[in-house]
Structure 1
C-alpha cells in the first residue's frame, strides 16, 4: 500500500468506515447479488466474495435454514439435505471462505470470522432469524454465531462437530496442513488426497457400497480443488477453535448429532458438548462415520425436523 493510499485509509478509519487490506472501502451494507451460473454472491466485511446457494419453496414465508459445511467441503455437499428440505424451508448454504466458489483470502481464518461471514449472509438474504445447521468445522462456526448472536438463531444443530480439537484429531490436521501443498501441485496426488480424505469420512460399511463410494469420489473430483491458502486457512480455524468454556451460556434449542464410528471428531466430544449445552439433545447414530448427514441421513433429517418443530 503506497503512502498516499495509506493516508486515505487512515482518514476512512477515523471516520469509522471499514476498509479492506488492499485499501478499498469495505461494503457497510450486506447485499446479495445474482451470480453467473447460479446462486448469489455476498461480500464479507473484509471484501471476500462468498458464493451462496439460496433455495426457496414455492410458498412464501417459509422458515429459513442456514447450512454451514465442514473443512474442504463446498455448500453443494449439502445436496441430500437441500433436496429434502428445500420443499418446506428456505435453504441458505454458503461456500465458506477458502473453499468452493468463494474467495480464499490470506489466512489464518478463525471460527469467529466464519461466523461473521455467516451473519453477513443472513443479513444479505434479509433473514432476521434462522435455524442453523453446522457440520464439523461448520458446526464450530455455528457455535460462535449462536454465542455472539443468539437472537438470530432459532435453533442450533451441531453435526459431527467439536468444541475443541481432540489430541489425535489435532495431530491429523497438523499433518494435513503440512502435506496439502504437495497434493495440490500434482494431479495423481490430488486423487490420492481425495481418497484418503473420504476414508476418514465414511464407515467400513459405506466403503463396501462401491456405487456409493464412486458417486462420492465423482462429486469430489467435480468440485474446484481447494487452494493451499484456503485449505490452510480453514485448518487454522479448526485448530484454534475452543468454545468448551462458553457452551453453558448457549440459550438456543440445540441438537448434537454424531456418528458413533466417527474417527475424525471422536463421539466423546459430542457427548461433552451435549452435557455442557443447557437442554441439548444428543443423537448418536450407530454404525455411521463422520459424514453423519449422508450415512445417517434418515435419522438426522428426522431429528432436524423435530428440533425445528419445537423451536419458537
Structure 2
C-alpha cells in the first residue's frame, strides 16, 4: 500500500484502483477509505479512483494535534503530488465534501469536476442538526448511540435487510483523541466566503430525508457556487450513495462524463 509523507512529517496511506482519468473520493468524518467499499467498483470501471486514509484514521499517522478540513485538503494535494496527478475530478461526501470545498476553492487548477454529497458550507450560514439528533448521538449507552447513528445514515427498510458490517459509522481502530480531533475539524468548517471562488463544474447531491447533515444545506451550497446544480434523492438519508446506489451512482457518473 503506497504512502506519502506530508511537509509536516505526517505519513498518509492512500489507495489507487482502476484506470482512466483520476477521480478522488473523499469520505466522511472519522472514517477511512473503506467508506467507499460498497460503491467504489462503480467508479473504478470508468476512472482511476484515488482514496486516502485521513490523518487519524486507517493506516495513516494519528498525531494528537488540531485537524481541520483545510488541512485535510492539503493532505489530498500531497497524495495527488505523490501519485503524479496534476488534475482530477473530486467527489466528496459528508466531511469529505467540506474538504473538497477547500480543495476546489484554493487549488482550482487541480480540480476538474466537483461533486459535493450530503455536505454543508459550515459556519454561521450552515444548517446544523437539531438538538434531538445531537442528544441521540451523545447518549451514554454506546449501543443505543450507534443504533441512532445507523438510523441517521440508512432507512429502516435498508437496515432490516442489510445487517452490515457498516463502513460509514466510523473507523473502529481510531484512538478516542483522533475522533475528537475529527469532530472538531468538521465543526469548525466554514468555507462560505471562498465558495464563490470555485470554478469547477459542480454537482450538489443530498438525500431528501437527511437530518444528520440537514438537506437544507444542499441549496445553500448550490446557491453559493457559481453555476452549481443540485439534485435531491427522494427518501434517502445521509448514506444516500450506498443505499440509493442505483440512483446516485449513475447520476454522478453522468455528471462527470459531461465534464470530461
Give the gaps of 5 or more residues in structure 2: none
Question: Aligned in 2, Cα 1:277/1:101: closer, same or farther, shift over 3 Å?
Answer: same
The CA distance in 2 between the partners of 1:173 and 1:49, in whole Å, is 33
Report how far residue 197 of structure 1 moved.
Answer: 2.4
Report the equivalent of 2:24: 66
Residue deviations 1:168-223 (CA, integer Å, cap 9, x gap): 368966996xx69xx8xxxx94x55543322221123323xx231x1244x57995
Change (3 A) 1:193 1:72: farther
Report what 1:196 is aligned to.
148
Alignment-derived partner of residue 42 in structure 1 = 4
Which secondary structure does the structure 2 equivalent of 1:80 belong to? coil
Structural RMSD (CA): 2.5
Does 1 or 2 have the higher relative contact order (CA < 8 Å, sep 6+)? 2
Tell whether the 8 Å contact from 1:45 to 1:117 is kept in structure 2 after alignment: no
Structure having the higher Rg? 1
Name 2:164's counterpart in structure 1: 215
Matches within 5 A, 1:17-32: none
Which of 249, 259, 274 lines up with 2:197 in the alignment? 249
Question: Alignment partner for residue 281 of structure 1, among 229, 236, 253?
Answer: 229
Pair 309,109 (structure 1): closer, same or farther in 2 beyond 3 Å: same
Structure 1 residues 174 and 253: alpha-carbon distance in aligned structure 2, compared to 1, 3 A threshold: farther
The 1-side partners of 2:133 and 2:188 are apart by: 14
CA distance in 1, matches of 2:194, 2:25: 22
- Structure having the higher helix fraction is 1
Q: 1:128 aligns with which of 78, 86, 102?
A: 86
Distance 1:220 1:130 in 2: 24
Deviation at 1:110, TM superposition (A): 0.8
* Match 1:292 to one of 229, 240, 247: 240
Would the alpha carbon gap of residues 97 and 243 (structure 1) be closer, same or farther in structure 2, given more than 3 Å must change? same
SS at match of 2:65: coil
Query: 1:56 maps to which residue?
Result: 18
Contact residue 107 and residue 232 of structure 1 kept, 8 A = no
| Native 8 Å contact 2:67 2:182 kept in 1 | yes
Q: Give the equivalent residue in structure 1 for 2:127.
A: 166
The match for 1:13 is: none
Task: Tell me, yes or no, if the aligned pair for 2:89 and 2:112 is still in contact at 8 Å.
Answer: yes
- Displacement of 1:134 in angstroms is 0.5
Q: Cα–Cα, structure 1 residues 105 and 192, in superposed 2: closer, same or farther, change >3 Å?
A: farther
